[in-house]
Amino acid sequence: MESEHQPKLSPIRAYQVLLANTMEPEDTYTSLSEYHDYEPSLEFDDSELIQASGLAPLPPELLDIPDDLLERSASDGTIEENFEKELAKPPQVYAEIAASSLDGDCCCELSGTGLVEVVGDDEVGRRIIVVSACRLPPSKDLHPDDLLRYLVCTLDKYVEQDYSVVYFHYGLTSKNKPPLSWLWKAYKAFERKYKKNLKALYLVHPTNFIRIVWQMLKPAISVKFGRKMMYVNYLHELQQYLDLDKLCIPEQVLEYDKLLLSKNPRVAEMARQKAERSAMSQDEARALPEPSSSAPKTQQFGVSLQFIRENNSNMVDSIPPIVRDCVEFLSRPEILETEGLFRRSANIVAVKEIQSACNRGEPVCFRDDPTNAAVLLKTFLRDLEEPLLTFDLYDDIVQFLSWPNRDKPRLVKVMILERLPLENYKLLKYIFQFLWKVQDRSCVNKMTSSNLAVVFGPNLCRAPSGVMSLSAIAPINAFTDFLLENQESIFII
């Protein structure tokens, strides 16, 4: 018999108890923060919410959220619409919108805003795409359908391989935010290929309200996709995962991060100490000689081809030992037929260990894992001091799509046979002869010439500045695809 003095449960607590008694708890979402005591306080403890995909979103009235909270939260640029009503509707398919061609003028206008930028690769070779909400044009100047087409058009260049997204939430206001209906339809419009190869979504500077909205949307979003999203409360938390210098962080976001740190002295002090250690390392690096001259003679990653040739007596035909090891391992018939070869992510710890052993001059062991060898081959090409298709060729390669088709074979031969250094040519020929074997089994491994071009293009050619513009991706990939399709007639010696 229940006690008459038993305290009455609040609606939110009663809802939690009901869920806890009827189903298994769902994994909580990852947070990169180590200082949860200094995160903004929520109106409720979202870590205690237990939801399942079969339930409807938790109603606001059960959250005991003051009516004015929704109005106040709208100023941070999140959703103030009735999202429950939107979720209750059958989702409208945006595939037609996403697949339709994007108006050229609109595409150029959005490209010039810096809303979406491709800034290089992370430590395991995944392309990093940065989205900055502060650079989103006012809603009155941009139709939501055009925004979706632009995002799909941009992501299409990268979804065939693993990629990560960094989203800077600061700067999304009531003037430039898309409606919730668009957000929901856009999620449904992005097909499985977009979500499957997305390995991490870093949501930087999340607000209280966006956490609440995300918590309520969880039942409608797949668990696997949800686990890829990570809250990042301060910029320095990204440092151990991504190189912040590559991210081209907007000035408004940097200032906002400083403001947040000023309100949390302890976190600010830890961030300052970390920055000092990082700056000290950079200063020491500047004081050292050039990387090639300061590296141990056994090093093969992050140095020049000339350095490797001068310090490896067992180097044959200008092929670095690590490249030969990778290619010979991957050329085994059973490995060549591995589905998604060169598109799979490897264990970063294992790759780093093999890479370090290689740089120490120790024998390479791929641990019978094709993914390790595939990632190491891409890493070697990406880390060369100068790309295999040299900086001198970059400006011409990015104009490849504008060349007349009848002139392409001749101009490409001139570039490869006459302008490319001999040691670069020999290594390029060796790699493309191997890639020909890979694409020859594309019916099994799914690695067509175009898929291989998407994977290898940015690792073979990059701008001297180190920043890859969106407009350069397509011609670089097309040039790489052309080399692969015509390798027998191009690599004649």
Residue 175 CB coordination number (10 Å): 12
Q: pTM for the complete prediction?
A: 0.51
Please choose, from the candidates 321, 318, 317, the residue with its C-alpha nearest in 3D space to the C-alpha of residue 300: 321
Specify the higher pLDDT residue, 387 or 187.
387
Cα separation, 228 vs 241, in Å, equals: 14
Domain residue limits, the chain: 84-283, 305-490
User: For position 427, what pLDDT does the model report?
Assistant: 95
Helices and strands per DSSP (H, E), number in the chain: 25, 6
First to last CA, the chain: 92
- How far apart, in whole angstroms, are the C-alpha atoms of residue 151 and residue 433? 35
Among 215-229, 249-263, 271-285, 458-472, the range scoring the smallest mean pLDDT is 271-285
Close Cβ partners of 355 (under 8 Å, ≥ 6 residues apart) = 301, 376, 379
- Cβ neighbour number for residue 68 with a 10 Å cutoff: 8
**326-355 residue pLDDT tens:** 999 999 999 999 999 998 888 888 999 999
Amino acid at 104: G
| pLDDT of residue 151 exceeding 90 | no
Rounded to an integer, what distance in angstroms lies between the CA atom of residue 185 and that of residue 123?
33
Kindly list the distances between the CA atom of residue 373 and the CA atoms of 202, 226, 309, 321, 340, in Å, as whole numbers in the listed order.
28, 30, 21, 13, 13
Split at pLDDT 50, 70, 90, the class of 140 is confident
Check if 84-283 and 305-490 are the same fold: no
**Per-residue pLDDT at 378:** 94
Out of 3.10.150.10, 3.90.1150.10, 1.10.10.60, 1.10.555.10, the CATH code matching 305-490 is 1.10.555.10
pLDDT (0 to 100) of residue 225:
73
Query: Under CATH, which architecture does the 84-283 domain have?
Result: 3-Layer(aba) Sandwich (3.40)
What percent of the chain is predicted at pLDDT more than 90? Answer: 29
Side chain identity at 432, as an amino acid letter?
F
pLDDT at 444 over 90: yes
pLDDT digits (tens, 9 = 90+) for 65-106: 344 433 333 334 333 444 444 444 444 444 444 444 444 455
Euclidean distance between CA atoms 184 and 102, whole angstroms: 21
Which has the higher per-residue pLDDT, 240 or 451? 451
